Structure 1
Amino acid sequence: MSKTSLYDLLLYSAARNNILAITSTCNVRCIFCSHRQNPPGIDSRNLPPVSPGQVDEMLDYIDPSFPLVIGESVTRIMEGEPFTHPDIKEILSRIRRRFPETVIKITTNGNLLDPDNIIFLSSLGGMVVNLSLNSASERNRKVLMNDSRAAVAVRAPGLLREYGLEYHGSIVAMPHITGWEDIAETVRLFDRQGARTVRIFMPGYTRFAPEGLPVPGFLPGELAGFVENIKCEVKIPVIAEPPNLSDLAARLAGVVGPSPAGKAGLKTGDEIIFVNGLPVLSRVDAFKRVLKAVNPELNILRDGEELSVRLVKGKDQTSGLVMDCDLEPDTLERIRRAVRRNRSGRALALSSEFGFPVLRAGLQKFLPGEKITVIPVKNRYFGGSIGCAGLLTVEDMSRAVGLAENSPDLVILPAIAFDHRGRDITGRNYMEAVGEYSLAVETI
């Protein structure tokens, strides 16, 4: 890829997702790293450290009313460790001067979060740190991440708390290597040291994983069970990723203690059914409507009893609600419009394996009169445990269309699998998924 095309992708990432990609450099070598399992021909981009001047240009595309994100990627750019960037302090200072009120979220493995860097972050204000600790044990962190600075990372939660920085923890669950107790102790460390939430990820493995790489033998159900048990021990919300959802009930996965939701007495397991008198459609719908509202009134179900609760908060102020991500109601409306636009009588919607249960639930609940069949697409290209929509390929989707029981007249594909040019991660255009079948196609 040319330097011009890569720079265009940086600007697209900033404009579309409010993500500032600054480097692909990483200073650890995680055994669960997805980039190490990519086959030849995958359209992923390695980004050298960008210059502060380039950052200034990228900031022209940022929406300061939303959090600015560093260290995450939803494009084909491989994310690296932000603190390896030689100009990280200058970059963060320029962002803060440009956007004095914007929340800056930065994801880090923590091994460069020494006192000097943490004091600097604290001085900027409005910083939120996502700490990928993975293990509270220096020994296990070295095993999992080949981290020569594991001691710095393990001390980071205490320093973040000491200097008053808001932070969230994350763990990639590898119990077949570290044991479940190590994961539990890492959650307890986050709890003791004031993390707002903890996310525990099921590791993803492809059929291209290096020979001899330990592959976990547990399923999402085991992870969900562990999370339910550890929630009883700690005060902070603990979330499983993927959440293994099968419905759209707006149940709370947790509540951040010092927050409007915490002060209002909301609890894990409460189900929001109305926001300001209007019924909610999904977890995502409830979360966003509460976020946008001023002092919203919530009707909730708790142990079969309906209660009314008012949250004291401003517009766009964080509510403290922690909810799993299910389905954006607008997705269903866009599907409905696509069906009508194409005058379809036999629409086929393709979904990831992880997303299939909630998409099916949404179609059954809100579009019962439409003739839409939804099927999960198995990721055969990557194989292994990969079940997300973003890594589906045209080859996977084309196979699914060919195996569909009812001959569709419209095929709806998950747009997240394609870049801004309409190409999947192997470089094939989405139209090729239905090319041999001569069908109408839309991406949503």
Structure 2
Amino acid sequence: MKIKKDLPGFNRGGSKTSFQAEDSIFFQEWVASGQPQEQIPISAVCNARCLFCSNRMNPFPIKQNIFRDIEDVKLQLSLGSANFAGEIHMSDSLPGRISEGEAFLHPQFFEILALVREKYLANILHFTTNASMLDEPLVQKLAQFRPLEINISLHSTQPKLWARIFQRTEKPAKIALSSLSLLKKYHIDFTGTIVTLPMICGWDDIEKTFGFLADNGARSILLWWPGFSKKTPEGMKKEIECSWDEFQAFVKRMQNKFPKVPIVPQPNLSETLGLPIKRIMKFTLLGNLKTFGGAFLKVLWLASEAAYPDISRMVEQAAKSVSNEHHVFPVKNISYGGNIKVSGLLMVSDFLSAGKKALEIWPDTDLVLIPGMAFDAFFRDLQKTPAIKIPEILGRTAWLIFDNGAFHQIRGRGFVKPENDVKTTFEKILKFFDQSIQEEKFDAVSSIVASFPIPTSEGLLKKIEFRNFLKQAKPRFPSNTCFEKRILEKLDNNRILCMEDWHGKDTSTPFSRWLFFKKIGDNWKMEMLFFGQENGENESP
């Protein structure tokens, strides 16, 4: 939705009496990112025009030159948990449809900062900046809101080169270079970011910049390989282009020269080394309607160009231990072009283009696996094209796969043969329960309790009280009798109710037993236990 122009100050942080969250691009994107508590961006306004800035190289327009409304910030803060202990990032913008700006430019910056600190008393507040505003008055005032961590984007220590890269004058360059000593003076932690531009600065100057950050106490340093797209002008491309091999060699050289400084090279072209391939393959052995809930026979993995070498190697190795076929195909980023290779910037159109080519090679493919990191919480790419278009157009079942090995079936619902039949599982649990009571192994029964105190027909019972409760109940379940009727009801995906009718001492008068089970991890645990009265009047659970 468009931002309403009749709301005074909306774009520049002015106050007003009403606010509508659906009009805020910041709130919309926060929701689309899955409502991450650590993300509270407040500015899409920047005071520089970096040569390498991706904002001008995107194949689609992104929102720029707006500040976040303070009422919008209040709304997000009200939805967050005060128990959240992680860092709060106030400059980053995910999933990537808003320009990342200078938070310090916001006209209500310190008012917002006070609101955030009121909610998150001890969390580290994180900002990314070109440091051109970090003079002593600002740094001194910032220090009142510690703990803070400032990420300084610094690509050369020479004011002339700094000004060229940021397309500004040398005056703000001197402020930026002086800021590191000020941060140290006021006990504010900082990290550094360097975009390696050897065609402009030369590797020697880049190394001096790295040393400058390290010597001044940078807690870590990000080294960015400069990216460019098909929209980057040819002249600018020649200025920012950097050999990948030279970049890697520089990273290794800095790691050897500054062993105590953590170095984070970006982008991460080994993004999938931790992907649990075998776990995902196991899932592909179930759920195919065409094989009556059995395996998908031929599986196609679509991988970014960055991930393709590692994915291919790992899939080839793991496929030896499964019965179905697995193939990997690289997805070229046609949308961005240039040297963009990572999964997070792929579009639905890129997956469709690669998928169609792959299906010409393996036409019998019945399952396509797609990296989930290319999509937001609503399973849309950066252009808001939904992932469902992929199975619709390719005519195949498609899953989004995630770093933890989980998957999401985009369309339809497969018929899955359950690995463990629910009825069989609970028959074993209940048999164990009854045998343990008969043998007076009450601690064994306690081991399947979800937590104490446990709700029972005698009220909330602690562990010792629960033992006595079971001991008193033992005569009601003699070893030579069995339940008369048992019904299992699924309350939700994680809760099962077992209702039983038993004969008591007077066989003409049955009584009931209700057991509530809750799934915790991979195990079912007893959540509540209620016994009915032998006179037939059941207690209300």
1:79 aligns with 2:104: no
Q: Post-superposition shift, 1:338?
A: 5.4
Give the secondary-structure state (helix, strand or coil) at the position aligned to 2:302. Answer: strand
Q: Post-superposition shift, 1:16?
A: 3.0
How many Å separate the matches in 2 of 1:120 and 1:333?
Answer: 51
Alignment of 1:284-299 (within 5 A): none
Q: Deviations over 1:271-302 (max 9, x none)?
A: xxxxxxxxxxxxxxxxxxxxxxxxxxxxxxxx
1:431 aligns with 2:456: no
Q: Post-superposition shift, 1:13?
A: 4.2
In the alignment, residue 222 of structure 1 is paired with which amino acid? E
Q: Post-superposition shift, 1:366?
A: 5.8
Are the aligned partners of 2:269 and 2:342 in contact in 1 as well (CA < 8 Å)? no
Q: Post-superposition shift, 1:54?
A: 1.8
Q: Post-superposition shift, 1:43?
A: 5.5
1:122 aligns with 2:147: no
1:384 aligns with 2:338: yes
1:399/1:339 CA distance change after superposition, 3 Å: farther
1:105/1:217 CA distance change after superposition, 3 Å: closer
Q: Post-superposition shift, 1:109?
A: 1.4
Q: Deviations over 1:66-106 (max 9, x none)?
A: 22111112222221111111111111121111111222221
1:197 aligns with 2:220: yes
Q: Deviations over 1:186-237 (max 9, x none)?
A: 1000111000111110111111113521434432221010121123333423
Q: Post-superposition shift, 1:374?
A: 2.5
Structure 1 residue aligned with 2:175? 152
Note the residue ranges of structure 2 that are not aligned, 5 or more in a row: 4-21, 289-294, 402-541
Among candidates 152, 156, 165, match of residue 135 of structure 1: 156
1:218 aligns with 2:218: no
Q: Post-superposition shift, 1:373?
A: 2.2
Among candidates 119, 124, 131, match of residue 98 of structure 1: 119
In the alignment, residue 166 of structure 1 is paired with which amino acid? D
Structure 1 residue aligned with 2:426? none
1:334/1:129 CA distance change after superposition, 3 Å: farther
1:182 aligns with 2:128: no
Q: Post-superposition shift, 1:401?
A: 1.0
Give the secondary-structure state (helix, strand or coil) at the position aligned to 1:15. Answer: coil
How many Å separate the matches in 2 of 1:201 and 1:133?
Answer: 11
1:427/1:335 CA distance change after superposition, 3 Å: farther
Structure 1 residue aligned with 2:2? 2
How many Å separate the matches in 2 of 1:62 and 1:214?
Answer: 42
How many Å separate the matches in 1 of 2:243 and 2:54?
Answer: 18
Give the secondary-structure state (helix, strand or coil) at the position aligned to 1:351. Answer: strand
Q: Post-superposition shift, 1:333?
A: 3.7
1:409 aligns with 2:366: yes
Among candidates 239, 251, 260, match of residue 264 of structure 2: 239
How many Å separate the matches in 1 of 2:177 and 2:50?
Answer: 16
Are the aligned partners of 1:13 and 1:20 in contact in 2 as well (CA < 8 Å)? no
In the alignment, residue 46 of structure 1 is paired with which amino acid? Q
What number of residue pairs does the alignment pair up?
A: 363
Structure 1 residue aligned with 2:78? 60
1:181/1:87 CA distance change after superposition, 3 Å: same
Are the aligned partners of 1:43 and 1:427 in contact in 2 as well (CA < 8 Å)? no
In the alignment, residue 112 of structure 1 is paired with which amino acid? M
Among candidates 301, 313, 329, match of residue 349 of structure 1: 301
In the alignment, residue 220 of structure 1 is paired with which amino acid? W
In the alignment, residue 351 of structure 1 is paired with which amino acid? A
Structure 2 residue aligned with 1:251? none
How many Å separate the matches in 1 of 2:396 and 2:225?
Answer: 36
Among candidates 127, 134, 141, match of residue 113 of structure 1: 134
Are the aligned partners of 2:224 and 2:265 in contact in 1 as well (CA < 8 Å)? yes
How many Å separate the matches in 2 of 1:71 and 1:360?
Answer: 36
Give the secondary-structure state (helix, strand or coil) at the position aligned to 1:79. Answer: coil
Are the aligned partners of 2:343 and 2:371 in contact in 1 as well (CA < 8 Å)? yes
Q: Deviations over 1:31-90 (max 9, x none)?
A: 101111123xx2533362123222111113435222211111222222111111111111
Are the aligned partners of 2:197 and 2:242 in contact in 1 as well (CA < 8 Å)? no
Note the residue ranges of structure 1 that are not aligned, 5 or more in a row: 246-324
Are the aligned partners of 1:14 and 1:59 in contact in 2 as well (CA < 8 Å)? no
1:183/1:401 CA distance change after superposition, 3 Å: same
Are the aligned partners of 2:299 and 2:368 in contact in 1 as well (CA < 8 Å)? yes
Q: Post-superposition shift, 1:334?
A: 5.1
Q: CA RMSD in A?
A: 2.4
How many Å separate the matches in 2 of 1:28 and 1:85?
Answer: 15
Are the aligned partners of 1:202 and 1:242 in contact in 2 as well (CA < 8 Å)? yes
The higher relative CO (CA closer than 8 Å, separation ≥ 6) is in 1
Give the secondary-structure state (helix, strand or coil) at the position aligned to 1:411. Answer: strand
Q: Deviations over 1:401-440 (max 9, x none)?
A: 1221323211111222223333323342222234333100
TM-score normalised to structure 1 length: 0.75
How many Å separate the matches in 2 of 1:223 and 1:211?
Answer: 21
Are the aligned partners of 1:22 and 1:47 in contact in 2 as well (CA < 8 Å)? no
Q: Deviations over 1:307-335 (max 9, x none)?
A: xxxxxxxxxxxxxxxxxx65455686456
Name which one, 1 or 2, has greater alpha-carbon Rg: 2
Q: Deviations over 1:153-176 (max 9, x none)?
A: 111222222222221100111101
